[in-house]
Chains A and B, each alone.
Chain A
Amino acid sequence: MSEYDARGKPNRALLICVDTYEQLTDLPAVRDNAEELKRVLSAPATDLFTGDEIVICRPREPWEAEQALDAVTGQARGLLLVYFSGHGRVGPDGGDLQLMVGASATRQRHKTLSWQDLVLSYLDQARADRIVIVLECCYAGNADEAFHSRRKPMSLLMAAQPNRRIFSGEEEAGGTLFTGAVVRVLEHGIPGKPFVTFEDLVRTLRERLAPERTPMGDVWEPRSAKQNTDDDVILSFATPEVRPSTPLRVRLRRWWKLRPHHRLRVLLVLLAVLAPLAASLAVLHARSAPPDCPPALELRLLTAPEAEPTLRRAAFAYEMSALNTRPLDGEDDLPDGCRRTQLTVYSAAKDQVGQGFAAADRWQGEAHGGAADTSAAKGTDPLRRPGPQPDLWIPESTADYLAARRTMPAAGSPATLTDTGPVAYSPLVVGIPESAHLDDVEQVGTPWRDLLTGTDGTHGDRHALRLLRPSPVLSGTGLLHTIGLYLADDGSPIGPAGTPEPSVAQSAERRLSAPGSQYAGSTELLCSLRPDADGADANRRARSAPLVSEKSLADFNLGRATGSCPALGGALAPADRYAAYYPKNVPALDHPLIRVGWQGAADAAPRRAAVDRFGRWLRDPAGGQRTLVAEGYRGVPDEDGAMPRPGAGSPLLSSRADADLDAPVVPFTAGGDQVARVLAGYDKAQKASQVLILLDASTSMAAGGRLPAAVAAAGRVLEMVGVHHTYGLWTFPDPAHPDAPDAVRRAVPLGSADPAPGKAELDRIAKGALVGHGAAMEEALTVAVGELKRSDVANKAVVLIIDQDDGAPRRAADVERSLVALLKKAPAVPVLTLVLGRATCDAFVFKGLADASRGRCVPAGPAAPDLLAGLVASVGSAGGAAGTPAAEGGR
């Protein structure tokens, strides 16, 4: 780290000391602070300020301090030191630090110096190279929250940690305890060091004040913060060691500064001599603009769909940040000011990320252009989904990472995953409709068990709430919620060895079991509950309780963009919002940053360093944490391990977010085995299911990119297939029977548990095996639904993928009527339709299908395969007590 040396430059030190107050207790010891500091700062040993560069200000009125600030900010060119010693006050929420001057009184803001509005605004206009601020007052630690600066490099030393008063000001002679310690360090230096830097001072003060206590009884701990700089600043050249000689440039600078009358003469001589030279140089310089920057190192950042917008913002801020453009020690390969790193942020569903890492050799192989067709890997195409080979992966929680690790081969994988720890938190919540307010249940600290019984409809005159959870297979939020439901059911902390009770899992799943109760992710789930969503239904909204994260629920309540729902003009109406209930001891989403190394990368070391640099910036309160907090996440713990409360700019502070900031952030403590057992328990609690994929294979599907979209969606559905979740794949029209509208081709018969034949059939169709006569949808659907209704599996659905119904012109009148009647008959067979091409879900026929079968229509688009997969994943969860259509309250 480089140290800024201001010797010989026009420096200024402004010492604001208030010892006499008209309405507050006097602070006699502060009187000596100013003199003591001035003595030390101007001492030859300190070697930084001259006597006339130090200004002492003892303001009675705020304007006196303001005037002094105005003067020094205009004069200083090198180092500007601003010191305040006196009383400090904060607002009821701990923000808005006010520095008190002689005439200041509590509750008279105009008689105080506002740290945020006044002091920082002046400092931001300063012309100095570096600014160092020292605050010694009660609540000095709260200055950090509002500490901001657009461009100026600033370092801030706060006498104590946030929310602490300090007993000080009445010491005997020689200044206050804190300033006395500062003075001693600056005056005598530090053993073994050639000078005292800002960081040295902070460190030494902490050591020296460690025996002291704040009025709250804890260790007195000075704090520091920085803005726009990573460098250190030298505050004193005093040293107990042999003092190094002053460099020539400093001596020259001083000579120049001290002899103003020489300047003009020297300048004239130089001008005469150098003018022609300078002119020619200028021409040269104009021709040779600063050297071109090479393309920055490209980092691939994989995350969950929910976190993608926020991380995109953070990555962009990082690209343009000083940290990314500053030359680095030992890495001087780039011309000055060039961006070192650029990031591309993309996302994929959790199961696909897991499959990607499990097939990392194939991921790497595809990227290497290596052989593609090992039969075991058929169907996984990691380069397409999840996407590029990531250099870093930020899943929603550590559970996702642990689950992915378990699917990777023990050895021989070309990908190396390293968990570098969380970058942002969001507690898990269950959103309770405002109309269903649970009077007898606390919003924070109620165990899951009581939340489940509190919402089951047996209490008071309330109806049962339908708990909606993102799929634990597809979504990190869904998995972590399931871990909470199974392992923290009684509200006790999750130990590293707990095992889910089968009965707990069963009863939890019974409450969640309802067709369509799962979504691929929390944002899509919430999007479906928005008043402006397709097919919005107030009744359904008022009976739903989404299991999501605090951040996504706050976004929803505030009307911010949520999944594919665009931002609204403002917050939702109170009746449309959900209040966040925080189940006790359920771990929060912790978004760990996983560094991914790839075998054989020639630039592995710089790539790794670039990832680590970005990670440090993400966790820096003055860096990425600002973006993350401004987007509704909770920050990472500070140095002493305390979880920070969301600071200024957090949307959670809005009362309309309906979040509770007192809810604690519970760290993730479960182990990889527990995650696996929870997933196994979830699987076990599922009922057998059967899905029939009915695919339009008429030639019109070849147009407009419909065929790849259809094949991708059907392929995604096949990924949900397993031993208990069987399927069939039928296509229509049937080439063998061109004249029979109700003929279907049973490519894979119903009841198959192996996705391979399905994939093979899709490959065949993808290559253009289409049928040249129209697809009669209603006829084919009648056959499919009829066969499924007869199947003895209890939970089933049809997945219909089609561009348009070609059969309408020749259709007999009764076909539609009998199809609708069939759909309405028990057992339920919901039709999940994906409409591609010309028609849309708004079309009468598709709306009718969804209504009659209690299914859904999914519009075409990039999110369609995951939406469909989410719906299919919940087919197996249907059939419990709440799963009968009557209890569904709508769809």
Chain B
Amino acid sequence: MSAPRTALPAALVCLTLAVAVGGCTAGPPPAPEKGAIVLATGSDLSSSGVRRDLIRDWERRTGRAVRIVTLPDTADGQRSQLLAAGQSGNSGYDVLNIDVAWTAEFAEAGVIRPWGTALDGDFLGSVVKTAEHGGRIWGVPFNTDAGLLYYRKDILHDYGYDQPPSNWGELKNMAAQVAAAYNRKAAKDSTSAEAGKDGKAAEGTASGGAVPKMYGMVAQLRPYEGLTVNTLEAAWANGGDPEATSFTKGEQVGALQQGVADIKDRLDSIMPHEATAMDETESRRWFADGRALFMRNWPVEYASVAGKLKAGVQFDVAELPGRPTDGKRMSVLGGQNLAISADSARPDGARALIEALTGPAAERCLLERGFAATRDSAYREAGKAPVCPLAPAAADRGESGAARPPADREPPYTRTLYAALRAAEPRPRSAHYQTFSKVVQVRVSEYLGSRGGTAIADALAREADEALSGRG
């Protein structure tokens, strides 16, 4: 390393300058906050446009500027940077757009400050839980998410099923039976087509060859956050309690064991082996390519699937299958909350921005543009819902065929999503959630890759509890 003797004075100079600049922007004590409000977020802010449009709209109305700092692309990278910079006490952000699973950790690490007031009753009850920790509110729900069951409406209909399965057992049977019959028929068709083909080459037409094999289901089983989500949902579907703080007590161990055994059973019977390497995008690709009858995925993939399969005709979405005992259809809640950074020099501006971005009109805009809104009012029928003040998005004006029906501006899955959200539950709310998730990923993926079906729940539950307690 080059001489620290030169580095240290330079550092001091920089520090002094930084303080001076900070002082200037913050202004003399009695004056209002100055300078742009710094909002730190993952890059998805720029991909959809609606969140950026909402921010620009607020800037226009208030005359205050917002500067967006783009964080690392991956959620893990975003969390790591925000947490470590917060611990080092030098982040300089005002508003943080954080994953709902991070609330407890960021609150306890002193990275975000308490919101200070209660959230109004319009926010969905399940979603509000993700902003709570230790009896206080730490942020405001920005957008939420719930897992849905995508299914091939056309094929299921052809084989006599007009309703999606109501529980996981039914799903497995339906998937196994329909996929087998479908593949038999496809094999027969392609042999006869082969025989019927003569000298005419299939030049320029579709890539030709056999129809891809149809599998029963795809889901996210690669060892990453998606596997934790699928594991929790499977445990809940077997009687697991989303509010339980320990996996080793009472019926939790049994539910966890049954849950992971169910996933393995589905993997070995109706899913392709490749599912152990699938994330949201990859599983959507399989489903959209016509290689699976069912898929567990978030609503955000709806548009991509609809690009290949005809929405409402070839495929549709439903709530996840329910648990046999009480019929509850529980999904893990996804989404993001907006929180004020502990270091913020512009807390009032930050608060005003967050309130605007999560207000009833803004949430309606989010819903219309493909996000899951966090407010009940956004889901009211058109006419009764708040009005989104934004002009239609560029994409909506776009090429022929790409536009959504202008009359009813909510996406077609909205009613299903609304029901799913009301039944959805947050992941374990712990300052040590990240380690818990790593434990689940490592152990469950080992288990899915193993040949035997040795029970792992006792060890997994113990390690999960250790992880959640912060102990090794």
**CB contact between B43 and one of A319, A708, A772 (< 8 Å): that residue:** A708
Of all chain A residues, the one with the shortest Cβ separation from B85 is A367
Within 8 A of B (CB), among A692-724: 698-700, 702-705, 707-708
Interface: B72 (CB within 8 A): yes
Residue A400 lies at the interface, judged by CB distance under 8 Å to chain B:
no
Q: Which residues of A contact B47 (CB under 8 A)?
A: 705, 707-708
Given the known inter-chain contacts A296-B470, A342-B435, please indicate yes or no for A774 contacting B7, CB distance below 8 A: no
Chain B: CB-nearest residue to A313: B442
A284 interface residue, CB < 8 Å from B? Answer: no
Contact B18 A293 (CB under 8 A): no
CB atoms of A704 and B303 under 8 A apart:
yes
Task: Give chain A interface residues in 404-418, CB to chain B under 8 Å.
Answer: 410-414, 416-418
Residues of B within 8 A of A708 (CB): 43, 46-47
Q: Is the CB of A346 within 8 A of B87?
A: no
Name B38's contact: one of A369, A413, A418 (CB within 8 Å).
A369
In the bound complex, what is the Cα–Cα distance between A381 and B105 (angstroms)?
27
> What A residues does B402 contact at CB under 8 A?
699-700, 703
- Identify A766's interface contact among B1, B46, B397, CB under 8 A: B46
Q: Are A387 and B77 in contact (CB under 8 A)?
A: yes
- The answer to whether A844 touches B207, judged by C-beta atoms less than 8 angstroms apart, is yes
What CA separation (Å) do A93 and B73 show in the bound complex? 47
Task: Chain A residues near B470: list those with CB within 8 A.
Answer: 292-296, 338-339
For A774, list chain B residues within 8 Å (CB). 399
Q: Is the CB of B472 within 8 A of A601?
A: no
Closest to A292 in B: B470
B469 touches A599 (CB 8 A): no
Q: Is B471 an interface residue (CB 8 A)?
A: yes
List of B residues within 8 angstroms of A293 by Cβ: 431-432, 469-471
Do A705 and B44 form a contact, CB below 8 Å, given A295-B432, A339-B435, A368-B91?
Answer: yes
- Given A344-B77, A366-B69 in contact, is the A300-B398 Cβ separation under 8 Å? no
Query: What is the bound-complex CA distance between A296 and B472, given in angstroms?
Result: 11
How long is the Cα–Cα vector from A322 to B466 in the complex, in angstroms?
13
Contact for A772 among B204, B206, B398, CB less than 8 A: B398
Q: Given the complex of chains A and B, what is the CA–CA distance between A843 and B6 in angstroms?
A: 59
Please determine whether A700 and B399 come into contact, CB atoms closer than 8 angstroms. Answer: yes
Binds A, one of B8-16, B225-233, B259-267, B409-417: B8-16
Q: In the complex, how many angstroms separate the beta carbon of A344 from the nearest chain B beta carbon?
A: 4
Is B76 close to A, CB under 8 A?
Answer: yes
- Judge whether A320 is part of the interface by a CB distance below 8 angstroms: yes
CA distance A704 to B369 in the complex (A): 12
Which residue of A is nearest B15, CB measured? A600
Name the interface residues of B441-468: CB closer than 8 Å to any CB of A. 442, 463, 466
Point out the residue from A325, A598, A838, A842 that lies within 8 Å of B88, measured CB to CB: A598
Complex contact B76–A346 (CB within 8 A) = yes
Report the minimum CB–CB distance from A383 to chain B (whole Å): 6
Is A321 positioned at the interface, with any CB of B under 8 Å from its CB? yes
The minimal Cβ–Cβ distance linking A367 to chain B, given in whole angstroms, is: 5
Interface flags, A283-302, vs B, CB<8A=1, else 0: 00000001011111111100
User: How far does the alpha carbon of A629 sit from the alpha carbon of B408 in the complex, in Å?
Assistant: 60
A316–B69 touching, CB < 8 Å: no
Tell me if A79 counts as interface (CB < 8 A to partner B): no
Q: In residues 380-418 of chain B, which contact A (Cβ within 8 Å)?
A: 393-395, 397-399, 402
Is B92 interfacial (CB-CB < 8 Å)? yes
Asked, given contacts A344-B79, A346-B74, A388-B72, whether A844 binds B206 with beta carbons under 8 Å apart, the answer is yes
Which residue of A has the minimal Cβ distance to B402?
A700
Q: Does B187 contact A (CB under 8 A)?
A: no
A358 to B: closest C-beta gap in Å: 14
Please, which residues of chain A bring their CB within 8 A of the CB of B91?
367-369
Cβ-based interface call for B294 (8 A): no
Q: Which residues of B contact A826 (CB under 8 A)?
A: none
Q: Is the CB of A566 within 8 A of B277?
A: yes
Q: Which of A308-333 contact B (CB under 8 A)?
A: 316, 319-322, 324-325
Q: Determine if A391 is an interface residue (Cβ-Cβ < 8 Å).
A: yes
A388 touches B81 (CB 8 A): yes
Chain A residue numbers with a CB within 8 Å of B310 are none
CB distance from A559 to the nearest CB of B (A): 14
B94 touches A (CB below 8 Å): yes
A319→B87 contact, CB < 8 A: no
Question: In the bound complex, do residue B394 and residue A702 qualify as a contact, i.e. CB atoms below 8 Å apart?
Answer: yes
B308 beta carbon closer than 8 Å to chain A: yes
Complex Cα spacing A704 to B74, Å: 17
Within the complex, which residue of B70, B108, B435 is in contact with A381, where a contact is CB–CB below 8 Å?
B70
Residues of chain B lying within 8 A (CB to CB) of residue A383: 69-72, 81
**Any A CB within 8 A of the CB of B40:** yes
A639 at the interface (CB under 8 A from B): no
Residues in A neighbouring B398, C-beta threshold 8 A: 699-700, 702-703, 770, 772
Distance between Cα atoms of A566 and B222 in the complex (Å): 11
Bound complex: CA A346 to CA B72 (Å) = 10
Q: Say yes or no: A603 contacts B88, CB within 8 Å.
A: yes
CA A339 to CA B472, docked complex, whole Å: 6
Instruction: Report whether B105 and A295 are in contact in the complex, using a CB–CB cutoff of 8 Å.
Output: yes
**Does A576 interact with chain B (Cβ within 8 Å)?**
no
**Is there a chain A Cβ closer than 8 Å to B83's Cβ?**
yes
Contacts of B434 in A (CB 8 A): 342
Q: Are A699 and B442 in contact (CB under 8 A)?
A: no
Determine if B2 is an interface residue (Cβ-Cβ < 8 Å): yes
Q: Which of B67, B79, B281, B442 contacts A369 (CB 8 A)?
A: B67
A127 at interface, CB cutoff 8 A: no
B84 touches A389 (CB 8 A): yes
Bound: A742/B40 CA distance, A: 42
Quick check: A369 and B93 within 8 Å, CB to CB? yes
From B282, which residue of chain A is reached at the shortest CB distance? Answer: A861
Q: Once the chains are docked, how many angstroms separate the CA of A418 from the CA of B91?
A: 23
Given known A-B contacts A381-B70, A389-B84, A325 and B438 have beta carbons under 8 A apart: no
- In the complex, A339 Cα to B466 Cα: how many Å? 10
Establish whether residues A295 and B6, one from each chain, have CB atoms under 8 Å apart when the complex forms: no
Residues of B within 8 A of A842 (CB): 207
Assess whether B89 is interfacial by the CB under 8 Å rule. Answer: yes
Residues of B within 8 Å of A384, CB to CB, are 43, 70-73
CB pair B395 A699 closer than 8 Å: yes
Q: Which of B83, B88, B274, B277 is packed against the most chain A CB atoms within 10 Å?
A: B88
- A816 to chain B: closest residue by CB: B204
Known contacts A293-B471, A699-B395; decide if A299 and B435 are in contact (CB<8 Å). no
A806 within 8 A of B: yes
Q: Is the CB of A316 within 8 A of B442?
A: yes
B85 close to A600 (CB less than 8 A): no
Report which of A370, A387, A700, A766 forms a contact with B81, defined as CB distance below 8 A. Answer: A387
User: Is A821 interfacial (CB-CB < 8 Å)?
Assistant: no
Contact of A321 among B2, B469, B472 (CB under 8 A): B472
Contact of B76 among A344, A372, A389 (CB under 8 A): A344
Check B173 for interface membership: any CB of A closer than 8 A.
no
19 pairs across A/B with beta carbons < 8 Å?
Answer: A293-B469, A298-B83, A342-B434, A346-B72, A346-B74, A366-B69, A372-B69, A383-B70, A387-B77, A388-B84, A411-B2, A411-B7, A566-B276, A600-B11, A700-B399, A704-B304, A766-B46, A772-B399, A816-B204
Given known contacts A416-B4, A599-B11, what 13 new A-B pairs fall within 8 Å (CB)?
A293-B431, A320-B463, A322-B472, A369-B91, A369-B93, A383-B69, A384-B71, A387-B73, A389-B85, A411-B2, A699-B398, A768-B394, A773-B399
A-B pairs, top 6 by smallest CB distance, nearest first, are: A293-B470, A325-B472, A344-B80, A699-B398, A369-B92, A388-B81
Which residues of B line the A interface, CB within 8 A?
1-2, 4, 6-7, 10-11, 14-15, 18, 38, 40, 43-44, 46-49, 67, 69-74, 76-77, 79-81, 83-85, 87-94, 105, 108-109, 204, 206-207, 274, 276-277, 281, 285, 288, 303-304, 307-308, 393-395, 397-399, 402, 431-432, 434-435, 438, 442, 463, 466, 469-472
A residues near B (Cβ < 8 Å) are: 290, 292-300, 316, 319-322, 324-325, 337-339, 342, 344, 346, 366-370, 372, 381, 383-385, 387-389, 391, 410-414, 416-418, 566, 598-604, 607, 698-700, 702-705, 707-708, 766, 768, 770, 772-774, 806, 816, 837-838, 840, 842-844, 847, 861-862
